């Protein structure tokens, strides 16, 4: 093989390694980007879940205030809070990254919310009377049977969201570590191949050139019977053949 072809072969080997490294890097970057997108979406989801707990508390307050004051305006406040909570639930349910466990918790939350709405409806339907004992009893049942459990379910949703963010962050770090390892391995492999190829090519050229130099020195001293080895087929071999023909 000619010297130029040897160099080209070594260069192509390096190009193949770099191309493989490039493909691996692109794939890893895409994976990291996907994890970051999920982290972003889960962050928004956590905000909604935290707001869900707050909205439940706000939903219960007008009912309690109505029992204490018998002021009809708290019925309007309740309806407003109920509408906001309903819209928030729609947003949560539209999240494409919801797990089956989260979907189940949301269904349970909706069931408890219906219980709150039923009890609140009964309380607001009672004759206006501050401190109505029957309404107070209904309020207590609503709190313990539906209010507190719904807040607990919202907290579980919030906890799941935080756990998902932690999981996606760990996956991103894992992909990044794998990419760094692959880059280091490919660089070391490329340097090793370059060193070996350079060493073999230089050794081959140096050996042939040294032989040709010694032959030239022998011929120059007057020995024209010197046998010249022309076994090489590269440029040095061609030069040795020309030198032999000249002698």
pTM over 0.85: no
For residues 88 and 132, the answer to whether their CB atoms sit within 8 Å is no
**Is residue 3 scored above 70 in pLDDT?**
no
Q: What does the pLDDT read at residue 40?
A: 67
Q: What does the pLDDT read at residue 158?
A: 81
The string of pLDDT tens digits covering residues 185-227 is 777 777 777 777 777 767 776 766 677 677 666 666 665 566 6
For residues 153 and 112, the answer to whether their CB atoms sit within 8 Å is yes
Which position has the higher pLDDT, 244 or 81? 81
Q: What does the pLDDT read at residue 240?
A: 62
The string of pLDDT tens digits covering residues 152-193 is 888 888 888 788 778 877 777 777 777 777 777 777 777 777
Among residues of the chain, what percentage have pLDDT more than 90?
Answer: 1
Query: Taking residues 86-91, what's their average pLDDT?
Result: 86
Query: Taking residues 99-127, what's their average pLDDT?
Result: 87
For residues 246 and 215, the answer to whether their CB atoms sit within 8 Å is no
**CA nearest to 95, candidates 164, 147, 183, 26:** 164
Instruction: Indicate the average pLDDT of the chain.
Output: 76
Pick from 32-36, 88-92, 105-109, 112-116: least confident: 32-36
Question: What band does 8 get if pLDDT is binned at 50, 70 and 90?
Answer: low
CA distance 149 to 126: 25
Q: What does the pLDDT read at residue 129?
A: 63
Q: What does the pLDDT read at residue 134?
A: 80
The string of pLDDT tens digits covering residues 133-147 is 787 788 888 888 888
Query: Taking residues 6-26, what's their average pLDDT?
Result: 70
């Amino acid at each position: 093989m000619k010297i130029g072809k040897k160099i080209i072969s070594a260069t192509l080997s390096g190009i193949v390694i770099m191309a493989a490294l490039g493909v691996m890097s692109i794939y890893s970057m895409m994976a990291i980007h996907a994890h970051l997108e999920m982290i972003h979406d889960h962050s928004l989801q956590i905000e909604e879940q935290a707001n869900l707990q707050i909205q439940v508390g706000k939903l219960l307050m007008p009912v309690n205030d109505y029992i204490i004051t018998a002021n009809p305006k708290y019925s309007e406040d309740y309806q407003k809070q109920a509408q906001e909570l309903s819209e928030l639930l729609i947003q949560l349910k539209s999240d494409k990254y919801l797990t089956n466990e989260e979907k189940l918790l949301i269904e349970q939350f909706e069931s408890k919310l219906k219980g709150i709405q039923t009890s609140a409806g009964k309380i607001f339907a009672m004759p206006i009377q501050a401190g109505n004992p029957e309404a107070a009893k209904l309020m207590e049942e609503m709190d313990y049977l539906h209010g507190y459990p719904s807040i607990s379910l919202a907290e579980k949703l919030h906890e799941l969201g935080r756990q998902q963010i932690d999981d996606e962050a760990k996956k991103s770090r894992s992909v990044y570590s794998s990419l760094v390892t692959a880059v280091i391995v490919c660089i070391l492999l490329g340097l090793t191949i370059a060193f070996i190829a350079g060493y073999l090519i230089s050794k081959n050229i140096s050996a042939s050139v040294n032989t040709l130099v010694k032959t030239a020195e022998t011929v120059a001293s007057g020995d024209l019977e010197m046998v010249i080895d022309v076994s090489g087929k590269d440029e040095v071999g061609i030069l040795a053949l020309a030198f032999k023909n000249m002698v």
